[in-house]
Amino acid sequence: MTVSTIFDLSTKHAVVTGGAQGLGFTIAKSLAAFGCDIAIVDIDAEAAAKAAQEITTTYSVNTQSIQADVSKEEEVSAMVDRVLESFPQIDVLVNNAGIVKKIDTLDMTYSDWKRTMDVNINALFLTSKQVGKHMVANGSGSIMNMSSMSAMIANREAQSAYNASKGAVSMLTKSLASEWAQYGIRVNAIAPGYMASQMTGPLFAPGGELEHILEHVPMKRLGRPDELSGIAVYLASDASSFTTGSIIVVDGGYTTW
């Protein structure tokens, strides 16, 4: 295999949770650009269908959209069955679904805490386990989890549940990588810093409530979602055949302080 072909994904099939918008959609498009077939899984059925159609139109790959709440075991199991009705196998799993609640711990309800854990870490466990069984049978696979720089540092905003959940994501990544290497399955995580989006952009703009945060980013700007694309393609492809258990930080240098 040459450098020019090592990133080819044209024989691979990926599942992207929370893939209808945001970072998940960006990663799905990046994989599709290298030929990967894509299953968009999202709790919003309409948005998932729209995202899948856009990917099909733009990249001419096979896509499907599946509505599922991946924090519910029965829905995860049904989702995997549906994917395998259309795709011969699942080569790549992107565990991207996640939420954040910026609530001071003293004001946080147990329901707030539990929902964050259900979506950010329990769903990742459920999806990895179900897809992992399939990958074990195939003898190969790549799982990439969406962690965060918040797994390593405590953000200056009040988001203790999110930070704790992402710390768990990073450790589960390493644990699964250790357990499943014997089956030819690689498990890694991407840990973004502050990323620009339609929702977050105004918060960091001049006069925004989080403008001061950029002073702590050595590159003095937010990341662009597409700046995760290369890493996602790397982790999905054979280029990362000797990479497992890694947490790859993409934060403009924030965690170097």
Identify the bridge partners of residue 37 per DSSP, sorted by sequence position.
13
> How far apart (Å, rounded) are the C-alpha atoms in residues 212 and 198?
19
Helix spans in the chain (H) = 22-33, 45-59, 73-86, 110-117, 123-138, 160-180, 201-204, 229-236
CA-based nearest residue to 30, from 203, 234, 192: 234
Catalytic residue numbers read 162
CB 164 within 8 A of CB 120: no
Q: How many CB atoms within 10 Å of residue 239?
A: 16
